[in-house]
Structure 1
Amino acid sequence: MSPAQARQRFRGGARVPTAGWCRGWTQANLIAVPKSLRYDLLLFAHHNPRACPVLDVGEPGTWSTALFTGDLRTDLPGYRLYRDGAAVADLGEVVGEWREDLVPFLIGCSFTFERALLAAGVPVRHLEQGTNVPMYRTSVPCEAAGRLSGPLVVSMRPVPARLVRTAVQVSGRYPMVHGSPVHIGEPTVIGIRDLASPDFGDPVEVRDGEVPLFWACGVTPQAAIMASGVEYAIGHLPGHMAIMDVRDDDYRVP
């Protein structure tokens, strides 16, 4: 399926997590903030590049970018609306909510290297189970910028111990879409008490002999929006991504 075909399905009402969709095409996190906050968000991303790798930015009031030629208001399978730092609604489209001063940012997503993990023999459990990837707020603070501060959010994939090195090496070749894990092993070290209770997404099975690997996650800007009490913002529903017109391999380094 091409990105345009997927976007047409989402525009038509498909409401599903996008892991595994459009294999070979890059997916991205969306966060749209008032233009008065755009430089703060750019600086926040600069200070926290593992969590917030910026792939593209639109002009104020626009709903497409150079790398996403669809409609950012309708062509994702789910959106989350924020007012004064609180998530107030999950929506299927945001045409009526898209203000003229909103600046859309597309942030790298770890779904981009999942095909490479599979090709290297590393299992991806949420794909096996047909669920959303589990994501967690951590106790690790991001570096603040302007009016934005908040915790690092991570995604988790359980990996057999013998394949941990492979997973680190493979994902490390995609530095613009989070790169290698930020933490390996014991989740309580980064403030995660229960892997079965993610803050976003769905829990997955962690089997005997597997090690939880944690990657920085592009939902981190949404956590900053909440922690900072931002007056208005629109993000993707976590795990329900923007499928862009650029290939995964474009973000792979040798």
Structure 2
Amino acid sequence: MTPRSLRVACREGSFAGYTAGHAKGFVQANICILPRDWAEDFLLFCQRNPQPCPLLSRSDVGSWSLPELGEDIDIRSDVPRYHVFREGRFDAEVADITDLWRNDLVTFAMGCSFSFEEALVDAGLTLRFLDRGEVAGVYETTMRAKPAGRYDAPLLMTMRPFTPADAIRAIQITSRFPNVHGAPVHLGDPGQIGVELDNRYRGVGSGEVLPGEIPLFWACGLTPQLAVMTAKPPICITHAPSSMLFTDIRNASLAAL
């Protein structure tokens, strides 16, 4: 299915699952929607933390369109599942936010690791969790993002295991995609960044590492969500984990080399 047809399916309520593996060749985006009074500090947070927050587009105040990412996008309905936070607390998971829309809301769209995962697979590297219909394990680490105004958070990371030879290739490939998290932040001993592989953030993803494999850790797009939870704006709307916005931008267009 094309990105547009998948957005229509989200809009009509017939698609509400994980977006990994769909719309091959096209960028998927993390979404964060905030009131205007909370948007400037968040923009600064993204600028200071480009690995976990690779900004692709920012909407005009009150606009539900993102023309740089797709002419027909309606951010109120085109994400499979949304998470709504109030005063930093999770409030609800919904399939449509039309009834919640306000004229002071600003949408931020950020790059997603699904883009570089496609490049890894195309290079012949194995991502076992994809074959199982899962996503990469997500972890809260002892490393911290750079704060900006009211936003501050530990750095969340996703983990993917590789043999040593494949790990080198994975680093080379993902370094070409700075707009979708870029190269790993850490590799090897998880304990050095405060991670226990069985203790995943919200239980998201696979933490399997087989004998002879090295865990590689990339900055995760859930980091800004955690920063928002700490800042406690009156309302914030995000995508549900691993349920991204399908865009019309091709992954190849984001490659730096």
Q: What is the TM-score with the length of structure 2 in the denominator?
A: 0.94
The one-character-per-residue Cα deviations of 1:111-166 (angstroms, maximum 9, x if unpaired) are: 11112101212112221111133212222111111111111111111112221000
Query: Which ranges of structure 1 fall in alignment gaps of 5 or more residues?
Result: none
Cα deviation for residue 9 of structure 1 reads 1.6
Q: What is the match of residue 133 of structure 2?
A: 130
Contact preservation (8 Å) 2:139, 2:199 = no
Q: What is the match of residue 17 of structure 2?
A: 16
What is the DSSP-based 3-state SS (H/G/I as helix, E as strand, rest coil) of the residue aligned with 2:241? coil
> 2:97, 2:65 → 1: CA distance?
13
One of 177, 181, 195 as aligned partner of 1:178: 181
> 1:89, 1:200 → 2: CA distance?
18
Q: What is the match of residue 233 of structure 1?
A: 236
Contact preservation (8 Å) 1:30, 1:106 = yes
Contact preservation (8 Å) 1:60, 1:100 = yes
Q: What is the match of residue 36 of structure 1?
A: 37
Q: What is the match of residue 148 of structure 1?
A: 151
Q: What is the match of residue 109 of structure 2?
A: 106
Sequence identity (%): 39
Q: What is the match of residue 60 of structure 2?
A: 59
Equivalent residue letter for 2:9: R
Contact preservation (8 Å) 2:138, 2:200 = no
What is the DSSP-based 3-state SS (H/G/I as helix, E as strand, rest coil) of the residue aligned with 2:125? coil
The one-character-per-residue Cα deviations of 1:83-118 (angstroms, maximum 9, x if unpaired) are: 011111111111111222110000111111112101
Please tell me whether residue 97 in structure 1 is matched to residue 100 in structure 2. Answer: yes
Contact preservation (8 Å) 1:129, 1:204 = no
> 1:148, 1:205 → 2: CA distance?
32
Q: What is the match of residue 4 of structure 2?
A: 4
> 2:100, 2:240 → 1: CA distance?
15
Equivalent residue letter for 2:215: P
One of 119, 123, 128 as aligned partner of 1:120: 123
Equivalent residue letter for 1:7: R
> 1:197, 1:51 → 2: CA distance?
17
Cα deviation for residue 209 of structure 1 reads 1.6
Contact preservation (8 Å) 1:126, 1:204 = no
The one-character-per-residue Cα deviations of 1:222-254 (angstroms, maximum 9, x if unpaired) are: 010112222210000011001111100010021
Mapping for residues 201-216 of structure 1, pairs under 5 Å:
201-216=204-219
The change in CA–CA distance for 1:216 and 1:115 in structure 2 (over 3 A counts) is same
> 2:191, 2:202 → 1: CA distance?
15
Q: What is the TM-score with the length of structure 1 in the denominator?
A: 0.95
Contact preservation (8 Å) 2:81, 2:243 = yes
> 1:132, 1:223 → 2: CA distance?
19
Cα deviation for residue 56 of structure 1 reads 0.3
Cα deviation for residue 196 of structure 1 reads 5.2
The change in CA–CA distance for 1:74 and 1:180 in structure 2 (over 3 A counts) is same
The change in CA–CA distance for 1:200 and 1:98 in structure 2 (over 3 A counts) is farther
Moved more, 169-178 or 94-103: 94-103
> 1:252, 1:235 → 2: CA distance?
26
What is the DSSP-based 3-state SS (H/G/I as helix, E as strand, rest coil) of the residue aligned with 1:71? coil
Moved more, 205-214 or 25-34: 205-214
Cα deviation for residue 204 of structure 1 reads 4.4
